[in-house]
Amino acid sequence: MPVMFVLFGGVFVFVACMVFMIRLYIVVRNGKYCKPGNKGLITLLVVAGSGGHTTEILRLMKTLSSAYSPRFYVIADTDRMSEERIRTFEKSNHLLDSDTQFTIHRIARSREVHQSWASSVFSTLNAQFYSIPLIFRLRPDVVLCNGPGTCVPLCVAGLLLGILGIKKVLIVFIESICRVESLSLTGRILYHFADYFFVQWVSLRNNYPKSIFLGRLV
């Protein structure tokens, strides 16, 4: 009897994994057919990092129209600078409707610069724990990110929404202009899952054929 139990258990886990993988494959592959713009407004979740990452993503945001609304910004809880910069940006940007709402959400940072690998695993799981309820509540059409470690747990939560069939969350990743020859760690992970993956140097596009190269963006 115990043998049968283990056997059935094993088969169940195997089938569950297979279903999960197939769903993941379908969700990632079908991104290009997803057109949230058809219904009018696009709900945007923006992952702002610290320092240079925030500068770059705000430069990109500056050219987006007010059709990208509402906008949810997610910043790391240890980040003091970004919130002020986002508020200043939202106030000053004339392309985006000032009446349209934006909100700022804080999340545990998944990885500090120079943090060891072992503690990174723990803090990333911690960030994952906060990301899932946040994404399930906000249900954005698009997650826009450019490299801070915080974006991986948020993108994973977005994928999960798609896998469960609740909503397809498009993942848009823009690799930092600093990356000329090699992708960042976040970039290497999200290359496989992002629906739109931008690089800013031609040498990177040559190494990563699925990436989109439109020249320098920031």
Partner 1 sequence: MKTVFVTVGTTSFDDLIEEITSAEALKALKYRGYERLVLQVGRGSVLPDPQNFPHVTLEVFRFKDSIAKDMEQADLIISHAGAGSCLEALGAGKALLVVVNDKLMDNHQLELARQLHTDSHLLYCTCPTLTETLRSMDLSVLQPFVPGQPKKFANFMDKALGLQ
**Interface with partner 1 (CB under 8 A):** 32, 35-38, 42, 51-52, 55, 59-60, 62-65, 67, 141-142, 170, 172, 174, 176-182, 184, 196, 198, 200-201, 212, 214-218
The smaller minimum CB distance to partner 1, of residues 132 and 218, is found at 218
Shortest distance, position 126 Cβ to partner 1, whole Å: 26
Shortest distance, position 196 Cβ to partner 1, whole Å: 6
Torsional sign, CA 160, 156, 86, 116 = positive
The smaller minimum CB distance to partner 1, of residues 55 and 126, is found at 55
Shortest distance, position 88 Cβ to partner 1, whole Å: 12
Q: Please, what's the b/e burial string for 59-94 (b: 16 or more CB within 10 A of its CB; e: otherwise)? A: ebbeebeeebbebbbbbbeebeebeeebeebbeebe
8 A C-beta contact, residue 63 and residue 32: no
The smaller minimum CB distance to partner 1, of residues 31 and 126, is found at 31
Helix axes 52-61, 81-92, angle to 10 degrees: 20
Shortest distance, position 24 Cβ to partner 1, whole Å: 21
The smaller minimum CB distance to partner 1, of residues 31 and 102, is found at 31
Shortest distance, position 128 Cβ to partner 1, whole Å: 25
Kindly give the residue spans of alpha helices, DSSP state H, lying in 30-116.
52-61, 81-92
* DSSP labels, 146-188: -S-TTHHHHHHHHHHHHHTTS---EEEEE--TT-SSS--HHHH
How many CB atoms neighbour CB 188 within 10 A? Answer: 12
Shortest distance, position 95 Cβ to partner 1, whole Å: 9
The smaller minimum CB distance to partner 1, of residues 67 and 104, is found at 67
The smaller minimum CB distance to partner 1, of residues 115 and 126, is found at 115
